[in-house]
Chains A and B, each alone.
Chain A
């Protein structure tokens, strides 16, 4: 089945540790995105990539890093520099960038909790 797969669904991180959230899509989409969701604040864009080996910072990129070595994969690393990482993280993809009205499709999300 075509879709976006995020793993793990639940992840616990100790203070000072880096963790990586996986995102894989088999939709042949060019653009991929990472959003952070906190209660009552909607979705905030962390990073996005419109092509392999290229990505841009979103509104809240500090403390996060990404890579786009393959079209299908866009992993997100939450570094120890991110002071408040506990949140629900959503990966998404679209055929092209949204300026052409392309729909963004979402994965099922990953919960990250700092313990």
Chain B
């Protein structure tokens, strides 16, 4: 059965610094992987997804993620954090259904 582990429930960075949010997955078949963002009191919005093909996936708001099969990872990065990036981020994997990680809350300091 598929599952997702997000390392670090809370990440804090300074504005302009690199953002790195970690996600590791387990799946018995080649996975479909997703990153979602959630702002307070709102639903989840898709940032990017990996299905097949290029392992470096670019998403909205300058985020990207790289699928590394050998490391079973799908870490989310952004070169330069902006205050508006402060939110909760969820990694998800789909096999028979979609499974979400516990989430990582990103704080951006001025």
Residues of A near any B CB (own CB < 8 A): 4, 6, 33, 35, 40-43, 45, 48, 58, 90, 92, 97-99, 101-109, 111
> B74: which A residues are within 8 A, CB to CB?
none
Number of interface residues of B (CB under 8 A): 23
> B44: which A residues are within 8 A, CB to CB?
43, 90, 92, 106
Given that A109-B41, A109-B43 are known contacts, is A98 also in contact with B101, CB under 8 Å in the complex?
no
Given that A106-B45, A109-B43 are known contacts, is A45 also in contact with B97, CB under 8 Å in the complex?
yes
Residues of B near any A CB (own CB < 8 A): 9, 32, 34, 36, 41-46, 49, 51-52, 90, 94-98, 100-103
> B103: which A residues are within 8 A, CB to CB?
40, 42
| Residue in B43, B44, B45 whose Cβ sees the most chain A Cβ within 10 Å | B43
> A102: which B residues are within 8 A, CB to CB?
94
> A107: which B residues are within 8 A, CB to CB?
43
Give chain B nearest CB distance to A15 CB in angstroms: 25
| Residue in B9, B42, B44, B90 whose Cβ sees the most chain A Cβ within 10 Å | B44
Give chain A nearest CB distance to B14 CB in angstroms: 24
Complex CA distance for A40 and B34, rounded to whole angstroms: 19
